[in-house]
Each structure stands twice: as C-alpha cells, then as structure tokens.
C-alpha cells in the first residue's frame, strides 16, 4: 500500500469520534477495508456490546495455529479542544509527526495492524491464520475484550500482539499489573448532633474500615521481580453534609494495583471478609462493590513470541534498541488472557508517551515501520 494511503487510513480512523462510544463507526470503516477480500476467505464478525458500540473480529488465512492481533477502537476525550494546537479529530502532520486524538493510543497501532493484514492479502502472502480483535471500551473498563473473550474469540490463540503505544516502538510489554477499584458505602442514621445517641454515625464506621484495610492490604507483601509490589491507595473519602448532623452516609474509594502472585479473587476475599467482620458489630451497615477489576497479566520475557519480536525488531529498527518490560497499567490483555489455551501476550505499537494528552501524536516514520514489523513478525511466527 502506498504511504499516502497508509496515512489516509490512519487519518480516517482519527476523524471518527469514538470517545468511549460510537465504536461502530470505526468497525464499519475497518469492515469496508476488508470487504474487497471476501473471496480470499476473510471472515468478519461483528459483536455488539451496546447500540453503536460494536467489537469487530476479522480472521484471514488458514491453518491450525492462530496469531492474534488486537487494538481498541475507542479513545479518551480530547478534553478542552481549544487547548490543542490542531483539531484533535483531524489528523495533521507537522515536522514528521501526525497529531490527533488516538494518534498514539492507539489508532496508529490499530491502523498498522489493519494495513499489515491488507498488504498480506493484497500480495497473497498471508502466512497463516491471523485474527484481528478490535474492541470497544478499553479505556473505560476493557469490557469489549471481556465480551470477546467470553464469546470464545480468544480461545486457541497461539500468541497475541496488542498494538498499544510502545514508547515509539522501543518497549515490548509482556507482563502487567492488575487493577481493583473498590467502593465501600457506610449507611447510618441521621440525628441532630446534640443527640448523637439517636443516630448512627456512618463516618465513624467507615473510618474503622479505612484504618483496618491498610494493614490488611500491606500483608500482601510479596514482591514480583519485574512489577514490584501490590500497591493500595485510599483515594476518595466522602461523608456527611451538615456540621450539626450525625452523618447517615459515607463513601470510601480505593485503588489497588495487583501482581500475578495475588490473583484478584484472593484480594476480593480479604476485602469482603473485612466488611463482613465489621458488619457483625452493632449498627454497622457497610457494603462493598468493585468497578471493572482487571487481573494482573503474568508473562515470560523468554517466551518464543517475545524473543521472535525482539529479533524482528532488530532487523527493522536496527539502531533503535528494544526492551521487554513490565507495565503498571492494565489493558485488554488482562481480559484476553482468560481465553482457553496458554499463549504469550506482547504489547508494542508505534505510539509514544503522549497518550491521553493534549497534542497527542505519533511519529510518521515509526508508524510506517511498525506496519513492516507486524508483517515480518507474522511471517516468522508461522515459519518457525
Ligand atoms: Zn490504549
């Protein structure tokens, strides 16, 4: 594919406002790019999450092994658009960089995967079965990836490459921390503060939780050699509304970053048990819920897929070294790893560290080279 057409493909993706919604328009466009190759056995599945929010799965080639490619269709909000030097939803090239929301995270990565597949179809060189998993809602909870995994689209993969920003194609993420966000609500009974015995103080009860959960989480003190320790931050505390009233409601929110040594269910059990223990006390009415928890992603930097990618990287990026790293943030990989079978997941894409920022960009040369990189990785993956 000509370079201009590669840029046009990325620009078109950026022009679609898929801010935590409207991913179907992205899916429509991707589907239209593969439609001309239907006679080559391209299989397209749309998996609706909600109206206007379609995941898309495109499978090309044949064979027993499946190499997975993945990218998310959504982007985060552009924030105040007047803070941008350029229109965030119109790709603009300046000094060798292409600017726009999603330029880095991760429409450039998604475009590169798509283009690499189209080029292989174009010259009849698809080396094996490749499955592209395009997801909704990665930025707000990875529920698209969760849905695709549940419906079996990640089953039987032999390896999965997610084109999330890789610090300008210099980092391959092979393991990452998980996330647990918890919200504990304490319910009491309102009364005038001059007669506190008539009320139940929701804040007092929540403080008990807050002080006891700290040492409880600190007990998870094993250290992962790559990712470090589990961390726990109490990040929001709200309660009460008037100075002369006994508060009848209080809320605490906490953020835990987990490591593979402690599966999420172990942490859930500890938290649930604490809530249950406190509720044994007179007048305590605490409840806990979790929002979009993600499992830590275990990984091995010596996995054949990672080694192969390092080798191909050396051939294409020559003077630019690459590092296999652990990541502190979760991605769709945390969901896909629940697919049936044992496969390595690698995250690397042309994006850089401008993700989620004003004036997000991707380096155009890195974008071009990443297309070649994915093609060569696929070729060598099936040749091994
Ligand atoms: Zn991303």
CA of 358 to the centre of ligand 1 (A): 15
CA of 18 to the centre of ligand 1 (A): 13
Tell me the pLDDT tens digit for each residue of 152-172. 999 999 999 999 999 999 999
CA of 238 to the centre of ligand 1 (A): 31
Look up 342 and say whether it is catalytic.
Answer: no
Candidate list 23, 105, 138, 295, residue with the active-site label: 138
Q: Is 334 helix (H, G, I), strand (E, B) or coil?
A: helix
The first and second tokens of residue 379, run together, are 């070729």
Q: What percent of the chain has pLDDT over 90?
A: 95
Tell me the pLDDT tens digit for each residue of 139-150. 988 999 999 999
Look up 74 and say whether it is catalytic.
Answer: yes
pLDDT at 25 exceeding the cut of 70: yes
Q: Which residue bears the tokens 């509304």?
A: 241
CA of 237 to the centre of ligand 1 (A): 29
**Confidence bin at 384 (pLDDT 50/70/90):** low
Question: Would you state the pLDDT for residue 330?
Answer: 81
User: Residue 125 and residue 116: Cα distance in Å, rounded?
Assistant: 11
CA of 272 to the centre of ligand 1 (A): 31
User: Residue 226 and residue 228: Cα distance in Å, rounded?
Assistant: 6
CA of 246 to the centre of ligand 1 (A): 44
CA of 111 to the centre of ligand 1 (A): 13
Complete domains list, the chain, with CATH? 3-176+296-383 (3.40.630.10), 178-294 (3.30.70.360)
Question: Would you state the pLDDT for residue 329?
Answer: 80
**What's the chain's average pLDDT?**
96
Question: Would you state the pLDDT for residue 327?
Answer: 85
Candidate list 23, 73, 74, 295, residue with the active-site label: 74
Tell me the pLDDT tens digit for each residue of 243-271. 999 999 999 999 999 999 999 999 999 99
Angle formed by the axes of helices 3-15 and 107-122, nearest 10°: 140
The first and second tokens of residue 128, run together, are 């094996």
**Confidence bin at 99 (pLDDT 50/70/90):** very high
pLDDT at 284 exceeding the cut of 90: yes
Helical ranges in the chain per DSSP H? 3-15, 23-34, 107-122, 143-150, 202-218, 264-279, 304-317, 333-336, 364-383
């Amino acid at each position: 594919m000509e370079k201009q057409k590669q840029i046009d493909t990325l620009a078109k993706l950026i022009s679609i406002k898929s801010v935590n919604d409207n991913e179907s328009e992205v899916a429509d466009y991707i589907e239209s790019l593969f439609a001309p190759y239907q006679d080559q056995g391209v299989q397209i599945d749309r998996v609706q999450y909600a109206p206007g929010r379609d995941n898309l799965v495109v499978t090309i080639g044949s064979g027993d092994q499946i190499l997975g490619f993945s990218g998310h269709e959504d982007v985060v909000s552009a924030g105040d658009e007047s803070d941008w030097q350029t229109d965030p939803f119109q790709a603009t090239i300046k000094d060798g960089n292409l600017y726009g929301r999603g330029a880095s995270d991760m429409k450039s990565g998604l475009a590169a995967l798509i283009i690499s597949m189209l080029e292989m179809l174009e010259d009849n060189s698809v080396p094996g079965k490749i499955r592209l998993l395009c997801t909704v809602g990665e930025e707000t909870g990875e529920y698209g990836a969760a849905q695709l995994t549940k419906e079996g689209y990640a089953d039987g993969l032999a390896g999965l490459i997610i084109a999330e920003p890789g610090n300008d194609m210099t980092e391959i993420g092979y393991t990452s921390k998980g996330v647990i966000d918890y919200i504990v609500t304490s319910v009491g009974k309102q009364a005038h503060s001059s007669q506190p015995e008539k009320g139940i103080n929701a804040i007092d009860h929540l403080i008990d939780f807050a002080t006891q959960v700290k040492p409880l989480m600190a007990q998870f003190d094993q250290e992962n050699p790559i990712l470090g320790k589990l961390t726990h931050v109490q990040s929001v505390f709200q309660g009460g509304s008037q100075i002369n009233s006994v508060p009848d409601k209080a809320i605490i929110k906490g953020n835990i970053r987990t490591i593979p040594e402690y599966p999420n269910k172990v942490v859930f059990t500890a938290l649930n048990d604490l809530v249950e223990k406190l509720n044994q006390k007179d007048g305590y009415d605490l409840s806990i819920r979790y929002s979009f928890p993600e499992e830590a992603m275990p990984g091995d930097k010596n996995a054949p897929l990672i080694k192969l990618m390092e080798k191909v990287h050396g051939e294409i990026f020559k003077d630019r070294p690459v590092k296999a790293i652990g990541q502190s943030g979760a991605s769709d990989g945390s969901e896909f790893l629940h697919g049936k079978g044992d496969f390595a997941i690698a995250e690397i894409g042309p994006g850089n560290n401008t993700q989620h920022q004003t004036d997000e960009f991707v380096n155009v040369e890195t974008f071009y080279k990443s297309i070649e990189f994915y093609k060569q990785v696929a070729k060598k993956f099936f040749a091994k």
